[in-house]
Every structure is written in structure tokens, then in C-alpha cells.
């Protein structure tokens, strides 16, 4: 249940004048602003001491005494952030994650949202200690080994050494604060240290750097696009480029000035896209996409409004029927998120082969999954290409071939070669609609309409607004075909679902749903579709139940679902 954040600014005049905490609360309250996920939050900013107190799950009117840790309050020394917190009244949210407390603020004058990371230290002494250790971090690094260590090993080494140092020199510092200080010092010691406070948040989607000398900004699932005060200068950029080269073992230089690669830092799977001169004439351009530790399920996507029950039912029936499915949408629309959610409801005994240049698929416990990693299209010299591996999959016996993103004409040619050969496929492709995607395949990629006719379903997903987290499936279109003189003929597209109208209900006799039902001796697939809708509305755990139910897979699921 959404509820408010109550912000209380305590000035020296206010606290002294009202003489007691209870009186001051009523006189100086800033009001309820912003939203949190699950409970009321009271935030007190005591400017004279540069302290911020906060506590979740209470009503400010119930407060009768000074906030204490034993009463559930946490305090943070805000230090140099104090002038900012005094000027900007609109606190949107607090997210405490590991050693950082992230403060989300609205700036009504600029019409923007800002995020500031605060170290979770409580006193000026702890803050000063953190800053001193950060400048002397070289004392805690083993220079002989540092060039051979991964970024995680470097972080772990510094954490261990700083923790040992603090335990021996300041034994009275409690374990939690010792851990927080050690982690922050370790983060600051590596090239990606400035990014880590934002990447560590589970709800961070993507972090951006436009060019050196500009500040980072990022997209957050709840708070949308957020600005930061972290500026990346050119000296820091050179460290980042060196780190990327060493971690991903790909070229990033003048001959190969862009790359896309996977990198895992602190158990966070990241996809990095980087460009440098001469392709990016102003210097390093960086996009870091963070994958959630737990992938969104179909039920999650229904809950957050990406899917309706009707749309989810159509997609479920298409997946269990092994239709050829392409998900299209713009950058950041959620194509891969939806693809992974559909992957999670496939039967456990299906053999799935994945071919990706960025490993965005998820390991699903108990499923048969075989992965092949190919070189990204940015790499000038490629040893393993997606188009070659797609063709090789004809001899790998996949029940479903999952291809990640189809980007080039060569990718499309290999995709449809696999489809014509009888493989069942799921993939994503950039586009703004089913109509636009078919035009791209036919006009730009020179795919014959007879081959396009063998694709079954195109799902379009969109992001409401740039920098906002809301997404939705806007249309589901079936591809219609017939045969004449022994050849496949592409008839056209038929919308079976739109976000505006819901289930359209006009099922083409030449579309994959009615064709499949007819081949099974059924009058329609709609009873099976209704059964799936009822199962979803019943609250059934789709991933653990549907993928194991024998009634779906002992015969064709469309046939079995009509008998439930």
C-alpha cells in the first residue's frame, strides 16, 4: 500500500523555540510528500548537527520523544549534502542498500528528479575516517597482484584489508559500521566505483554517461529517470576504458571504437555498451544495463501493468503450442524481459538452445538449456557469428531456439532459414509495430514474403515515456498464410489483441491459432484460451505449475486444455 513520507526540517531556532520534540513536530512539519512502497516514513533533518533520522512504519503524530536507534530509527551524517537537503523540499523516497542510503529528491524549478548517495555513517568522525581511508586506499592494495585480479577480487581484497585495519586500530567501532566503511572504500578504489551506489539498487535499470565531464544519470523502476551529481572526468574515463578491456577481453580502440559485452560485478549481471573516439568524437559514451537478480515472471508483468490477463493468456497458449514468436519494440521497451518471462513457463523437458551476443537469458532450475555465446556485431574481427551458429542449430536438435536480439540483415536471413527448415524460434527485434517489422524484414532485409508467412506471432511492447518505468504490450498480431500450388503465401497481419480494445476476437482461419486447432480436429482454440485465463485469475504459480503439468504436454496442449 502506497503511503507518505513526512519530512521535518529541524533548525536550531525551531528546536530551541518549541522546547520539546513533540511540540516542534507539530509546528515545523513539512507535510506528506512522495511515496514509498509499504509503509509510512518519517524523515527528520537536523541541520545544526548535519544529521538525518528516518524510520519506516510510523505516524509522525505518534512521536513523543527524541528518535533513538532502539526505537527503530536510523541516523545518517549528511555532511556536505546539508545545503542541498535544506534547499530542496520534495523528498520522493529513500532506498537504503548495503553501505549507501539513496536519497531521491524532486526539484520543481528544474522539473527533474535527483538521486544522491549518502554513506551510512552516523558521525563526523566516521565520515572523516571514511574520507581519509579513501585517499589512502593504496595502502590496502597489493600492488604486485592488482593487475591480475578481477574487479571483484580487487574489491574483496580492499574490504578484507580495511576491515582488518579498522578492527585493530579502532576496536570500538561496531561491526556494521566497519563493514559499511570498508565496502565504500573498496568501491571507490576501482574504476567503476562511482557507478556502484546506483547499480547496487535492485530497481536500477540502466546507467548512462553521455561524455566525459558530464554527470551520470540512470533509470529507476519506481522513480523514473534520475539525475546525479557524479561527474566523470577524462582521467577517470581512461581507468574505465582500461577496466572494460581487461574484464571483457574485447577490443576497444580506434580500430574497434565500440563494443557490447557482459560483465558481472558484485553478483550483478551487467550489459555494457561503450563507444570511444573516433566513433564518439566527444569521448567515452557508456550505457550499463543492469539485470534484476530475479527475473520478472508473467505474473509480475501482469501485476505491474505490462500485460493484461488476456494478453498473457494469448502468449501462454502460443508458447506451449511452440509458435514462432518475435517480440518487437523500441530500445528499453522490455523486449528481453518479456522473452525471459515466456521462457520461464516452457516445459522442463524441452531442450532449449540459446544463441546470444549478450547473455541476457536466465538459468531456470531443472530446465534443459544449452547456450552459445557469439561475438557482438561491434567487434571488427569476429570468430563466432550469430548467423553461423543459427545455421548450425539445425543439427543441435532444439525444441525451441531462443535467439536474443535479431539486429542485422544477416541475422534475419539466418533466422528465416531456420524457420523454413522447421525450427521453432523466439527472439526480439527493434521496431514500433508488427507492420513496421514486417516491412523491415521484407524491404530492408530482403526476406521473401513466403518466408515471413512462416512466422506465427509478433508481439509489440512499448515504454510509455522516455525515462519512465511503465511499459505495456500494445498489440499482438498473428501472421496469416495459406498455400497455393504447393507454395506458402503471406496473406497479411491480423490483430488479435490491442491494449486499447483488449481481446479483439477476430481470429483468422489462416492464422496460427485457428490453423492449429483445425489440424487437431477442434472447432476453435478459444476454450483452451479461456482455461488459461481462468488458471491465471486463480492465482496459480504459472512457472512452477504450468511447466510441470502433464495435461499440457502429453498431447498437444491446445487439445488437452479444452478438456479441463
Q: Which DSSP string do the residues of 302-361 spell out, in sequence order? A: HHTTSS-HHHHHHHHHHHHTT--EEEEESTTSSHHHHHHHHHTTS-TT-EEEEEESS---
Whether the per-residue pLDDT at 145 is higher than 70: the answer is: no
Higher pLDDT, 273 or 543: 273
Higher pLDDT, 43 or 156: 156
Higher pLDDT, 368 or 14: 368
Three cell numbers, residue 553: 504436454
DSSP 200: T
20-29, 59-68, 243-252, 460-469, range with the lowest pLDDT: 20-29
The secondary structure of the chain in percent helix, strand, coil, rounded to multiples of 5, reads 35, 30, 35
Q: How much is the pLDDT for 120?
A: 92
Q: 535 in helix, strand or coil?
A: helix
Mean pLDDT of 33-57: 68
Whether the per-residue pLDDT at 429 is higher than 90: the answer is: yes
Could you list the beta-strand ranges (E) of 82-223. Answer: 90-97, 100-107, 112-119, 204-209, 215-220
Higher pLDDT, 227 or 541: 227
Mean pLDDT of 209-217: 94
Q: How much is the pLDDT for 89?
A: 58
Q: How much is the pLDDT for 70?
A: 59
323 pLDDT tier (thresholds 50, 70, 90): very high
**Helix 309-320 with 526-537: angle, nearest 10 deg:** 120
Which of the listed ranges 81-95, 271-285, 349-363 does the model predict with the highest average pLDDT? 271-285
Q: How much is the pLDDT for 12?
A: 58
Whether the per-residue pLDDT at 7 is higher than 90: the answer is: no
Mean pLDDT of 26-51: 56
Whether the per-residue pLDDT at 328 is higher than 90: the answer is: yes
The rounded distance, in Å, linking the Cα atoms of 248 and 256 is 14
Mean pLDDT of 51-60: 74
The rounded distance, in Å, linking the Cα atoms of 262 and 269 is 7
Q: How much is the pLDDT for 31?
A: 34
Whether the per-residue pLDDT at 438 is higher than 90: the answer is: yes
86 pLDDT tier (thresholds 50, 70, 90): low
Give residue 248's Cα distance to chain centre: 20
Mean pLDDT of 528-554: 74
2 pLDDT tier (thresholds 50, 70, 90): very low
Whether the per-residue pLDDT at 551 is higher than 60: the answer is: no
What are the φ/ψ torsions at residue 299 (nearest 5 degrees)?
Answer: -65, -35
Whether the per-residue pLDDT at 69 is higher than 50: the answer is: yes
Whether the per-residue pLDDT at 550 is higher than 60: the answer is: no
Q: How much is the pLDDT for 505?
A: 75
Neighbours of 76 (CB within 10 A): 22
Higher pLDDT, 182 or 394: 182
Q: How much is the pLDDT for 419?
A: 93
* Antiparallel, parallel or unpaired: β 471-484 and 351-356: unpaired
Whether the per-residue pLDDT at 286 is higher than 90: the answer is: yes
> pLDDT tens, 93-143?
888 888 999 988 887 666 678 899 999 999 999 999 999 998 887 776 665
> pLDDT tens, 154-195?
899 999 999 999 999 999 988 999 999 999 999 999 888 999
Q: How much is the pLDDT for 37?
A: 33
88-92, 302-306, 398-402, 506-510, range with the lowest pLDDT: 88-92
Q: How much is the pLDDT for 35?
A: 34
The rounded distance, in Å, linking the Cα atoms of 192 and 144 is 21
3-state SS, one letter per residue, for 439-451: HHHHHHCCCCHHH
Residue reference for cell 560483465: 263
Q: How much is the pLDDT for 55?
A: 81
205-209, 350-354, 514-518, 547-551, range with the lowest pLDDT: 547-551
Mean pLDDT of 38-51: 75
What are the φ/ψ torsions at residue 187 (nearest 5 degrees)?
Answer: -60, -45
Whether the per-residue pLDDT at 446 is higher than 90: the answer is: yes
Map out the domains of the chain with their CATH numbers. Answer: 3-120 (no CATH), 126-290 (3.30.450.90), 298-507 (3.40.50.300)
Mean pLDDT, all residues of the chain: 83
Amino acid at each position: 500500500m502506497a503511503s507518505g513520507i513526512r519530512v521535518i526540517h529541524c533548525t536550531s531556532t525551531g528546536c530551541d523555540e518549541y522546547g520539546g520534540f513533540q511540540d516542534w513536530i507539530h509546528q515545523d512539519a513539512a507535510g506528506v510528500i512522495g511515496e514509498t512502497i509499504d509503509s509510512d516514513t518519517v524523515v527528520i533533518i537536523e541541520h545544526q548537527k548535519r544529521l538525518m533520522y528516518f524510520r519506516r512504519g510510523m505516524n509522525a503524530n505518534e512521536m513523543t520523544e527524541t528518535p533513538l536507534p532502539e526505537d527503530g530509527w536510523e541516523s545518517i551524517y549528511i555532511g556536505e549534502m546539508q545545503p542541498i537537503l535544506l534547499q530542496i523540499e520534495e523528498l520522493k523516497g529513500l532506498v537504503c542498500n548495503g553501505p549507501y542510503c539513496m536519497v531521491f529528491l524532486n526539484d520543481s524549478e528544474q522539473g527533474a528528479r535527483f538521486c544522491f548517495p549518502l554513506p551510512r555513517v552516523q558521525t563526523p568522525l566516521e565520515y572523516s575516517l571514511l574520507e581519509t581511508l579513501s585517499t589512502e586506499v593504496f595502502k590496502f592494495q597489493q600492488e604486485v597482484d592488482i593487475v591480475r585480479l578481477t574487479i571483484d577480487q580487487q574489491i574483496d581484497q580492499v574490504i578484507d584489508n580495511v576491515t582488518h585495519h579498522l578492527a585493530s586500530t579502532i576496536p570500538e567501532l561496531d561491526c556494521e559500521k566497519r563493514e559499511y566503511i570498508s565496502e565504500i572504500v573498496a568501491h571507490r578504489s576501482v574504476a567503476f566505483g562511482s557507478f556502484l551506489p546506483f547499480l547496487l539498487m535492485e530497481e536500477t535499470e540502466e546507467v548512462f554517461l553521455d561524455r566525459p565531464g558530464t554527470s551520470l544519470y540512470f533509470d529507476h523502476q519506481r522513480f523514473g529517470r534520475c539525475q546525479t551529481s557524479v561527474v566523470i572526468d577524462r582521467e577517470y574515463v581512461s581507468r574505465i576504458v582500461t577496466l572494460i578491456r581487461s574484464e571483457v577481453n574485447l577490443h576497444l580502440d580506434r580500430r574497434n571504437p565500440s563494443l557490447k559485452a557482459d560483465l558481472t560485478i558484485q553478483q550483478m549481471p551487467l550489459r555494457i555498451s561503450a563507444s570511444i573516439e573516433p566513433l564518439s568524437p566527444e569521448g567515452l559514451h557508456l550505457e550499463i544495463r543492469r539485470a534484476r537478480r530475479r527475473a520478472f515472471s508473467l505474473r509480475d508483468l501482469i501485476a505491474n501493468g505490462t500485460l493484461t490477463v488476456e494478453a498473457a493468456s494469448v502468449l501462454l497458449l502460443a508458447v506451449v503450442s511452440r509458435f514462432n514468436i518475435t517480440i518487437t519494440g523500441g530500445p528499453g521497451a522490455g523486449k528481453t524481459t518479456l522473452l525471459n518471462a515466456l521462457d520461464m513457463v516452457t516445459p522442463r523437458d524441452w531442450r532449449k538452445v540459446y544463441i546470444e551476443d549478450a547473455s541476457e537469458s536466465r538459468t531456470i532450475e531443472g530446465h534443459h538449456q544449452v547456450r552459445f555465446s557469439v561475438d557482438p556485431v561491434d567487434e571488427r574481427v569476429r570468430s563466432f557469428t550469430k548467423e553461423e551458429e543459427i545455421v548450425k542449430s539445425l543439427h543441435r536438435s532444439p525444441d525451441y531456439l531462443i535467439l536474443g536480439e535479431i539486429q542485422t540483415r544477416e541475422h534475419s536471413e539466418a533466422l528465416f532459414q531456420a524457420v523454413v527448415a522447421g525450427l521453432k524460434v523466439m527472439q526480439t527485434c527493434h521496431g514500433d509495430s508488427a507492420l513496421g517489422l514486417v516491412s523491415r524484414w521484407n524491404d530492408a532485409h530482403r526476406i521473401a514474403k513466403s518466408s515471413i508467412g512462416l512466422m506465427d506471432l509478433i508481439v509489440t511492447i512499448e515504454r510509455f515515456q522516455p525515462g519512465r518505468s511503465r511499459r505495456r504490450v500494445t498489440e499482438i498480431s498473428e501472421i496469416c498464410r495459406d498455400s497455393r500450388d504447393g507454395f506458402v503465401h503471406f496473406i497479411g497481419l491480423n490483430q488479435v489483441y490491442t491494449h486499447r480494445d483488449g481481446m479483439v476476437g477476430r481470429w483468422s482461419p489462416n492464422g496460427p491459432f485457428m490453423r492449429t486447432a483445425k489440424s487437431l480436429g477442434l472447432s476453435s482454440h478459444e476454450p483452451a484460451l479461456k482455461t488459461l485465463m481462468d488458471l491465471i485469475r486463480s492465482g496459480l504459480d504459472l512457472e512452477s505449475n504450468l511447466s510441470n503439468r502433464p495435461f499440457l504436454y502429453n498431447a498437444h496442449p491446445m487439445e488437452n486444455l479444452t478438456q479441463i
